[in-house]
Amino acid sequence: MDAADLAYSGIAAQAQMLRDREISSTELTDAYLARIEAIDPTLNAFREVFADQARAAAANADGRIARGDEAPLLGVPVAFKDELDIEGRVAQHGTDAYDRPARANAVHVQRILDAGAVVLGVTNLPELAVCGFTESRATGDTRNPWNTSRTPGGSSGGSGAAVAAGLVGAASASDGAGSIRIPAALNGLFGLKPQRGRISLMPEAEHWHGMSKTGCLTRRVIDTALWLDVAQGPAPGDAHTPPAPTGSYVDAAHRPPPPLRIGCTERSVRGLLPPVKEPAALAGLDAASAVLTDLGHSVEACDPPFGNAGNPMIALYLSGVQEHVESVPHPDRLESRTRGFGRLGGLVPERAVRSALTKQAAHAARIDQVFEQVDVLMTPVTSTLPVEVGRWRDKGALRTLLGMSRVYPYTAIWNYTGQPAAAVPVGFSSDGMPLSVMLIAPPNREDLLLALAAQMEDAIGWPDQRPPVEAM
């Protein structure tokens, strides 16, 4: 296996190769660090690379493996989105407004470290994870490895670009309104937004009034399943605790689903402005429908009863951003647009926030009625192909918010109502950009999404496709 094949092989395969002594963690880590040095100056996926620490951790992992130690990710390199607390380091959140080193690791970080992973570094995001593109004054522009004039999405754009370009096998990501699924879709990756509370956010009990979830971005479904097995579970202080899974997520990804009823719709919840709906972006639905039908599933038109759930969704998003803006140690260092998002959130009456939270369960229950007709719902992830880098540069908060609402209308509703949802690659547009669809399952059924997506991966073979970064 050459260096590029190894880089793209994914964390599950790498963990097995390390256990079998086919490769050392030091060799794997050095291979990734070399790729980052060669390729990342063009992409700007990483905010900081921990080269010396990663090499030391890899050497330690090699020693443990030689002694017969076992752990699910022992010696496997990963990266974290630069919003998670790492002991002794300032989590920058895409800005320069933080200056206080973390006193302890976040629960998510600690569980991945306890599984033996080697941390290569932290990836870029827009300020406070507010936007669906990864550009900021503090970190610069992050670019899509399939076409560097386009955005990799956001807010987990650094993680998306890094995994897509083979700079790391998996990276953490978070999703408050689509920030796992959007970068997954735009970079040709698999991205699962888990059920609310599936992975603890501690030391935060919740984020953006429960809109935010945390997970990862990977090329392969099995890699996400492995990450989820390691990271899932409650922690003291969590505001939300879903029922425990009935089995291993890795096992679920290996188990093909029975024939399923797949509901398909282009309809989105009513937002601030109507979506653009480019035919090229929506073509993923036809491609996915053909694959699913060939696999023995039935695909039928099905519109969920969204009602007016878009109004409370927007209220919680904006109010959550306002709270985050007000919490940073140095708000004066934030960009004017980010402060503008905070002011927009300040216009949301407190009674509207209370109402959004009070009615959340009722909205979710009504929308869940769709699962009485179908087993899984399928929609687009975005309504356009990746927009150009700088599309909203120097635009104010309101113009940016309205623009994003037209491009990213499909994802945020599932943050409000909480069900698991995943972006699944299904091919490429005529100009070589990834196409994707979103699969939504009933509450707590991440296992169903993993099983179905893994079956689609076998049929489509998207991990075999690589962006043209080797020539960079």
Provide mean pLDDT across the span 213-242: 98
Q: SS3 of 214, please?
A: strand
Residues in CB range of 290: below 8 A, 6 or more apart:
none
pLDDT of residue 432 exceeding 70:
yes
Active centre residues (catalytic): 81, 155, 179
3-304+365-464 folds as Amidase signature (AS) enzymes (3.90.1300)
In angstroms, the CA 135 to CA 121 distance is 19
- In this prediction, residue 135 carries a pLDDT of 98
Residues above pLDDT 90, as percent of the chain: 99
User: H/E element holding 54?
Assistant: helix 51-66
Provide mean pLDDT across the span 234-248: 97
Model confidence pLDDT, tens digit, residues 370-383? 999 999 999 999 99
- For residue 429, cis peptide bond before it (omega within 30 degrees of 0): no
pLDDT of residue 471 exceeding 80:
no
pTM: 0.98
Structure tokens at 49: 């690379």
Model confidence pLDDT, tens digit, residues 16-49? 999 999 999 999 999 999 999 999 999 999 999 9
Q: What are phi and psi of 22, to 5 degrees?
A: -80, -20
Segments making up each domain of the chain, as ranges? 3-304+365-464
What rounded mean pLDDT belongs to the chain?
97
- In this prediction, residue 470 carries a pLDDT of 81
* No. of helices (H) and no. of strands (E), the chain: 17, 13
Residues above pLDDT 70, as percent of the chain: 100
In angstroms, the CA 223 to CA 8 distance is 12
Provide mean pLDDT across the span 60-88: 98
pLDDT of residue 332 exceeding 90:
yes
Provide mean pLDDT across the span 349-358: 98
433 pLDDT tier (thresholds 50, 70, 90): very high
pLDDT of residue 413 exceeding 90:
yes
239 pLDDT tier (thresholds 50, 70, 90): very high
How far lies 53's CA from each of 19, 74, 87, 169, in Å? 22, 15, 13, 18
pLDDT of residue 424 exceeding 80:
yes
CB 32 within 8 A of CB 167: yes
Q: Return the closest-CA partner of residue 190 out of 12, 32, 46.
A: 12
CB 172 within 8 A of CB 216: yes
Model confidence pLDDT, tens digit, residues 151-171? 999 999 999 999 999 999 999
Q: Return the closest-CA partner of residue 325 out of 133, 152, 128, 60.
A: 128
- In this prediction, residue 472 carries a pLDDT of 66
